Amino acid sequence: MSSDTVTVDLLVDGGKATPGGAMGPALGPTGVNIKQVVDEINKQTQAYKGMKVPVTVTVFKKTREFTLSVGIPPASALILKEAGLSKGSGTPNTEVVGNITFQQLINAAKAKWPDLTAATLGAACKELLGTMVCMGITCDGKAPRVVQKEIDEGLYADILSENEE
């Protein structure tokens, strides 16, 4: 990046960003129209309503124009959305707060896959199952570690191959 640009990384509420919080102080000195930035962020993050979304704003100082790069929400946010929950368990090893189906796990894994190191959809599902352990959320009523072993044993091979694109 040259000194002609300023890059600001933000974590915003999908479709509901506001100029408050870290955004105003970070973008104010650049001279960019903050309302335009907020409107564009909300437009581009509409599909992630109810989730925290990473956004990078690059401001070109001379022209005061900007570009946005919208990331993928954290795995935990995708899982919470699939489970219909606002937060995970405070004591995940003893308290289960929700459950998702294997298909919902696949949906979340497919959404997050570009950000993961996983080479296959099964590996992506296993990564998200690892996150679910820390959240107190089960898959098809089973502990996430059990489902990880079942993926390794080939139990979900058919549904995974149907969904892999």
Whether 21 has a pLDDT exceeding 90, the answer reads: no
Q: Which pLDDT score, from 0 to 100, does residue 1 have?
A: 46
Average pLDDT over residues 156-165: 89
The answer for residues whose C-beta is within 8 angstroms of residue 146's C-beta and 6 or more apart is: none
pLDDT tens for 45-100 read 998 888 889 999 999 988 999 999 999 999 999 999 999 998 898 898 889 999 99
Average pLDDT over residues 148-155: 96
What pTM value is reported for the model? 0.78
Bridge partners, residue 57, by sequence: 8, 68
One-letter identity of residue 18 = T
Whether 114 has a pLDDT exceeding 60, the answer reads: yes
Q: Which pLDDT score, from 0 to 100, does residue 2 have?
A: 53
One-letter identity of residue 91 = T
Of 87 and 151, the one with more pLDDT: 151
For residues 89 and 96, the answer to whether their CB atoms sit within 8 Å is: yes
Q: Which domains does the chain have, with CATH numbers?
A: 5-70 (3.30.1550.10), 75-163 (1.10.10.250)
CA distance 77 to 80: 5
Q: Which pLDDT score, from 0 to 100, does residue 94 have?
A: 87
The mean predicted confidence, pLDDT, of the chain is 91
CA distance 157 to 141: 19
What is the percentage of the chain residues whose pLDDT exceeds 70? 98
Element (H, E) at 48: none
Q: Which pLDDT score, from 0 to 100, does residue 76 have?
A: 92
Sign of the dihedral through C-alpha 62, 67, 69, 70: positive
